[in-house]
Structure 1
């Protein structure tokens, strides 16, 4: 029997990008000390904490280190807030700063806690995890000979770290597979190639962003220059591929969006304190003005990816195609502490230019395009979403400010238009899934239009040869339906 994952409703944990993956959107900074009735210390609770601390010190079955007790108490306090707030030890804080520069040690996966195990949000292109065949959604149940059940997320992360060149074996459960799968990975110093580019067909460019790093905006501009040189200074269309891009640096997302916009808001943030309310606006000139664009997203597109997709969708600058995104619409500020540690604290939600909060909902594509594996699946695949995480923040309403209510169920919004594969294109039910063939995982391999249905249809949309249907199954004409800068479909 294939493994089936129930819809996760009791997930807990935090996204960690230290040593094995990349952190989601965050702002580095220090908030000024503030005193108010809300920050008064609850003396009775402190007395209770002190009493419990003392009881553990004197009555627990074996001696416990004071630092271990305090760190455990801090972790519990912070992790009870939401899935993305976390306490970073001094070593973790140093590493997270290295991660945003695009060079760090580890395996190259974004992970979160899931019912006592560790689930992969997305592998990062060109890393040991991606090359070994780790997939988004895999649940890690064993690291070498240690069962993950019972470990904290931080403890599991520590076990996956190690000296570059050393090996680690991950045992995972995968949707649709009848038995656990084992992967032996060689740890490496991760140098993530954030941006790749190629010409798909004469006049039609392709840019892939694996994650948003400090230099990603500059790298995308360089990629556009390369594509323009290859195509005599003019592009008929451009595909921007953000699939399985877990996010990264907020400012880089703004820089990328600004390349394709010349005015108006790109994104704004809203929180409880004035320091967290910010606006980011586009500046002229637009780099490739009027070039038709399709932005590809999927369930692994999160945070900074959603900022870019949301800005281009609201401006009607690009058609967003693929599958509904992860829904990570909160901003984390990394606040350094006196002891060299740091507090990664959720301080705001971000909003698209039209005032939409992406939190726990994600970006709904203008045109839904499933992968061939998703289209062939007899049941809806169980992809991890922000809305599945225990304690996640409610979707924010721009009229009412930030809502801190908790939500327990996933949010699914149907796209109005779809492109479906023909029955002859679907793989047989017993065919082995090859998700890494759909999204390029190696800089030495160009995207394969024969294997990548979503990319092939994105190119067809730009050429005007795509066949669209409405959600009710009736034929549709996408350019007329969406009022977007696309050629009219040739077969409509």
Structure 2
């Protein structure tokens, strides 16, 4: 079986995105750009530092001012670069384990507000109705404008069992929404699976953690065992998956590919130029795959979707993805703090940059929901008419007896989920076409 242990580099998961652990500021020590100091600008910085120390209305320590300066320097670069103090760095490391305290939303910054990339499955945020794309403008009574991301996340996490009210602006809604959410311990199960119909499997990945690849392989193995040893098709659901560990994304894509490039990264530093290739063995033996994505599919999700799309291994269905195509490297500092710095962009096998563009689905689906029709209504057919003409070439069919039959779990899932229903229908069509061409 394929395993994530094949990959030398494991990139750990942050608030929204995948990033790698570096070895501190020494990584930059030998670069020419770091040898020339901008003396005039540093003199201006020193003057402003002194002016704040002497004239600001309240006393501010040197440590506070320097931390503010570092945070401002990094936040000015892009929405994902940030400084993490000792507590924030520790929370980050805890978050990669798949269990942490909070609301269960993956967030970023947009125009000074907290933007929801996606709510995590089976968490208080999802149950309260938080949606991908929501802009959080207040946390309780505190305005989010001008907060940095780490400060906002710290407020949202809090003690399990306590409430917080999020004031949200949502596209298509005239006035802000107020959602009160009870914090809880967030246990993220990254892989879920079930049989949709005989021979057709469903695999949902909620985010990419360190062990996601092996969990995917195990889930596929169990699906095959439950369906007579093989699958006729698979739906891979990456909707509202905010990303995570890059190594896990590479491993999942590799599980369905037999050869070729999966993803590569490119940046200014030599250690940011990386490429990852697939290894032999497709765990579903070339059975058709449909990948579901939406605007909440980001980062590592886009790597998987992009790789399978470029290799023509899967049909991508849904709505355009989030467009987070940059790599963040974590540089631990000597004082137990860390710097998260954008160091590269990643590219699909064909050389596409997903940054700010996202993955365009092969088949675009509108955001529709099913409405159940009256089960008692049965449309008339020719055979129902009095004195209808017989077929003439076969015995008359007996009227079908319709029993009140309870839907199977998988069938119920597809019947309530428009995108999943369309994916399953497409898989059946691909199987029919494949059988006719063999």
TM range (shorter): 0.7 to 0.9
SS of aligned partner of 1:32? helix
Q: How big is the shift at 1:447?
A: 6.8
Does the aligned pair in 1 maintain the 2:16–2:107 contact within 8 Å? Answer: no
Residue deviations 1:333-374, cap 9 Å, x none? 10111111111111111111111111111111111112216x
Q: Pick from 116, 127, 130: which aligns with 2:126?
A: 130
Which residue of structure 2 lines up, in the alignment, with residue 411 of structure 1? Answer: none
Distance 1:270 1:97, change over 3 A: same
C-alpha distance in 2 between matches for 1:174 and 1:228: 41
Q: CA deviation at 1:301?
A: 0.6
| CA distance in 2: counterparts of 1:447 and 1:343, whole angstroms | 46
Q: SS of the residue aligned with 2:236?
A: strand
- Return the match for 1:456 from 417, 421, 426: 421
Q: Does 1:27 align with 2:20?
A: yes
2: distance between equivalents of 1:314 and 1:227? 26
Q: Which residue of 2 aligns with 1:4?
A: none
Determine which of 252, 277, 289 is the counterpart of 2:285: 289
Query: In structure 1, how many angstroms separate the alpha carbons of the residues matched to 2:143 and 2:76?
Result: 24
The 1-side partners of 2:410 and 2:155 are apart by 31
Please name the residue that 2:218 is paired with. 222
Q: TM-score, normalised by structure 1?
A: 0.74
Q: Distance in 1 between matches of 2:221 and 2:252?
A: 14
Structure 2 residue 225 is the aligned partner of structure 1 residue 232: no
Q: Does 1:164 pair with 2:110?
A: no
What is the CA RMSD across the aligned residues, in angstroms? 2.3
* Whole-angstrom distance in 2 between the partners of 1:489 and 1:322: 26
Are the equivalent residues in 2 in contact too, given 1:162–1:187 (CA < 8 A)? yes
Does the CA contact (< 8 Å) of 1:104 and 1:189 recur in 2?
yes
Higher mean alpha-carbon deviation, 89-98 vs 150-159, is at 150-159
Q: Measured at CA, do residues 271 and 43 of structure 1 come closer, stay the same or move farther in structure 2, by a change above 3 Å?
A: same
**How many residues are paired up?**
385
Question: Which blocks of at least 5 consecutive residues in structure 1 are unaligned?
Answer: 1-16, 374-420, 425-443, 465-478, 480-484
Please say which structure displays the higher CA radius of gyration. Answer: 2
Report the counterpart of residue 244 of structure 1 in structure 2.
240
List structure 1 segments (4+ residues) > 4 angstroms apart after TM superposition: 444-447
> Whole-Å Cα distance in 2 between the matches of residues 299 and 23 of structure 1?
13
Gaps of 5+ in 2: 1-12, 374-408
Are the aligned partners of 1:253 and 1:305 in contact in 2 as well (CA < 8 Å)?
yes
Give the conservation status (yes or no) of the 8 Å contact 2:329–2:341. yes
Query: Which structure features the higher share of helix residues?
Result: 2
Any idea what SS the aligned residue of 1:448 has? helix
Question: 1:47 matched to which residue of 2?
Answer: 43
- Are 1:323 and 1:364, in contact at CA under 8 Å, matched by a contact in 2? yes
Superposed CA offset, 1:402-441 (max 9, x none)? xxxxxxxxxxxxxxxxxxx99x9xxxxxxxxxxxxxxxxx
Structure-2 change in CA distance of 1:131 and 1:41 (3 Å):
same
